[in-house]
Structure 1
Amino acid sequence: MKHCAILTMDNLSDFECYDYLLDEPLAELGWATELISWRAEKVNWDAYDAVIIRSPWDYQDDASAFILSLEQIDNSSARLQNSLSTVCWNIDKIYLKSVAEQGGRIVPTLWHENFSKHDIPEFFDYFSCQQLVIKPRISANADNTFWLKKETAMQFAHQLESVFSQSEFMVQPFINSVIDEGEFSLFYFDGVYSHAILKTPKQDDFRVQEEHGGYLQTVTPEKALLTQADDTLAVITRLTGDMPLYARLDFVRLKNDDNNNKGFALMEAELIEPSLYFNMDDKAAEALC
């Protein structure tokens, strides 16, 4: 019997987590599983054959400590998945810039640090838009993500300065199709496409996560989206030099002012701790195992 640690957090009570669906198919393949928090101390990682990063959904609160924990695992005899190098590449959303430089299509983005309220009008002018999204470069679960409307944006100036005055952040035009249609997530295991879902926010919100009231449905991605996702994963593999055990690629449809389809743009490549929504496809957990 081999031993696999499922890396999680201290308390998942506020989250929807489906990693328990890995237990049975892993057991059938001769693996015993154990949940271990990334914050746990004095763990003998050599006692495990593999450690799969799954639900450490508070890592953004102390990213340096999280990386240190992963380094301890990586220095043991256990195999860490996804790899430490992939995590270090993916943990800062500046990776999107490198994807774009390699020909991948991303949502238009400005990269900034040391926020000032005087920057707000310039952001709207740069994108020629009426709505913006500002979020940290290191974040999860839409934490500290702000949806701003031009006419009321200055009301959030103090809060934005409090969050971003001494940190790096990213600015994007708000993509209306997030509300009108939703956000597509495509899942890959060892480079092989598994399944896809469409996530839509609740009314008057833009966050698509279940914890924020988002609605999920299984979908069959159209050919153009699947091709773009395949190409994006190929770019990521070239950039990291590593095929991830799992990848979730989040896309949104772009439209012009006349509401015509302009194709898809990558919102995020989730390679650290994405929910893989095993509950949405009855073959997904087995495929990963």
Structure 2
Amino acid sequence: MRRCALLTTDHLEDYFVYDQMLIEPFKQKGWLAEEVSWRNEQVDWSQFDVVLIRSTWDYQQDVTKFLAKLAQISRTSAQLENSLKIVEWNISKGYLKELQSQGVNIVPTLWFDNFDYEQLSQSFAHFVTGELVIKPMVSAGADFTYRLSLANLAQLRQELSEVFATRAFMVQPFLNGIVNEGEYSLFYFSGEFSHAILKKPKTGDFRVQEEHGGLLQTVQPSDEMLVVARHCLAALPEDVFYGRIDLVRHSDEFVVIEIELIEPSLYFNMDPASPQRFVDAFIQRFG
């Protein structure tokens, strides 16, 4: 029986993880799939035919070590998916600038290498808005993401200067569409659309993740969403096995918040047929 590692990490008790829904469909296709932590130093990766990066949701705490582990796996006989090349491209949100240069509409963004309070203050006027969102270039799960207003900026000055003292970051206008309508996620396996969900933050919050109380529902994407998503996929440096494209409505069109190609939750729980579609796409790709 061929073997596939579902790359995860330690101590995911506080997270919603759905990768185990893949194990039985894999078994039915003659593959033994098992969850393996990327932090386990005792693993012989060559015992696996394929290593799928799945719920490695602490990588942002030690990016250098994480990339080194993926490089180590890539040097074995195991096939790493998505590839190390695409992970290196996707790990910093600077990839959004590259997508924008290819005509993909993204959330309006300013990019900062160093924390500068005056420049941050001027971002309100730049975007003609009363609220901003600031987030690290390398982040996951809304870690170190702040919703800023003219009223609370001064209060958060010291905290922000410490958090972003050594982190490049991005600043965007806060989009009311995230609260009023929600954020859409479209999932693709081997370039084919699988399913889509709408994520809405709980009352009084702006973060849509389940861990922060976000509410989820399955939706059918509009033709406009599908066109934007296909444009995103076509703009990637290489074909990917799986991907999640996050969209939000802004100025009467859908714009890209993120493209998740490293360790996105694929929300198999939201579509009962999606684990089988994932495995079928896998078998078509890897045999």
TM-score (norm 2): 0.96
1:135 touches 1:171 (CA, 8 Å); kept in 2? yes
1:113 touches 1:165 (CA, 8 Å); kept in 2? no
Matched residues in 2 for 1:21 and 1:167: separation? 36
- Structure 1 equivalent of residue 61 of structure 2: 61
In the TM superposition, what whole-angstrom CA distance separates every residue of 1:37-66 from its partner, at most 9, and x where no partner exists? 111103111100000000000000000100
Letter in 2 for 1:252: V
- Structure 2 equivalent of residue 82 of structure 1: 82
- Structure 2 equivalent of residue 201 of structure 1: 201
1:51 touches 1:79 (CA, 8 Å); kept in 2? yes
How far did residue 118 of structure 1 move? 2.3
Matched residues in 1 for 2:120 and 2:45: separation? 47
Matched residues in 2 for 1:231 and 1:137: separation? 23
Whether 1:251 and 2:247 are equivalent positions in the alignment is yes
- Structure 1 equivalent of residue 98 of structure 2: 98
State the Cα RMSD in Å. Answer: 0.8
Q: 1:174-189 to 2 correspondence within 5 Å?
A: 174-189=174-189
Letter in 2 for 1:211: E
1:117 touches 1:154 (CA, 8 Å); kept in 2? no
Matched residues in 2 for 1:178 and 1:138: separation? 21
Matched residues in 2 for 1:119 and 1:154: separation? 13
- Structure 2 equivalent of residue 276 of structure 1: 266
Whether 1:266 and 2:262 are equivalent positions in the alignment is no
1:116 touches 1:165 (CA, 8 Å); kept in 2? no
Matched residues in 2 for 1:80 and 1:61: separation? 21
Identical positions, percent: 50
Structure 1 window deviating more from structure 2 (69-78 vs 112-121): it is 112-121
Whether 1:170 and 2:170 are equivalent positions in the alignment is yes
How far did residue 229 of structure 1 move? 0.9
Matched residues in 2 for 1:20 and 1:229: separation? 27
In the TM superposition, what whole-angstrom CA distance separates every residue of 1:123-147 from its partner, at most 9, and x where no partner exists? 1111111000000000000000000
TM-score (norm 1): 0.95
Matched residues in 2 for 1:42 and 1:188: separation? 33
User: Could you say what secondary structure the match of 2:254 adopts?
Assistant: strand
User: Could you say what secondary structure the match of 1:196 adopts?
Assistant: strand
Matched residues in 1 for 2:174 and 2:260: separation? 20
- Structure 2 equivalent of residue 107 of structure 1: 107
1:132 touches 1:147 (CA, 8 Å); kept in 2? yes
Letter in 1 for 2:275: A
- Structure 2 equivalent of residue 286 of structure 1: 276
User: Could you say what secondary structure the match of 2:184 adopts?
Assistant: strand
Matched residues in 2 for 1:67 and 1:27: separation? 29
How far did residue 152 of structure 1 move? 2.0
For structure 2, which runs of at least 5 residues remain unmatched after alignment? 280-287
Letter in 2 for 1:198: L
Matched residues in 1 for 2:152 and 2:24: separation? 51
Matched residues in 2 for 1:118 and 1:254: separation? 27
Matched residues in 1 for 2:79 and 2:96: separation? 27
How far did residue 162 of structure 1 move? 0.5
Letter in 2 for 1:226: L
How far did residue 27 of structure 1 move? 0.4
Letter in 1 for 2:106: I
How far did residue 116 of structure 1 move? 2.5
Matched residues in 2 for 1:215 and 1:225: separation? 20
1:199 touches 1:208 (CA, 8 Å); kept in 2? yes
Letter in 1 for 2:27: A
Whether 1:146 and 2:126 are equivalent positions in the alignment is no
Matched residues in 1 for 2:190 and 2:33: separation? 20
Matched residues in 1 for 2:133 and 2:203: separation? 17
Q: Please list every run of at least 4 consecutive aligned residues from structure 1 whose deviation after the TM superposition is greater than 6 angstroms.
A: none
Matched residues in 1 for 2:119 and 2:154: separation? 10
- Structure 2 equivalent of residue 137 of structure 1: 137
Letter in 1 for 2:75: N
Matched residues in 2 for 1:120 and 1:267: separation? 20
Whether 1:14 and 2:4 are equivalent positions in the alignment is no
1:120 touches 1:154 (CA, 8 Å); kept in 2? no
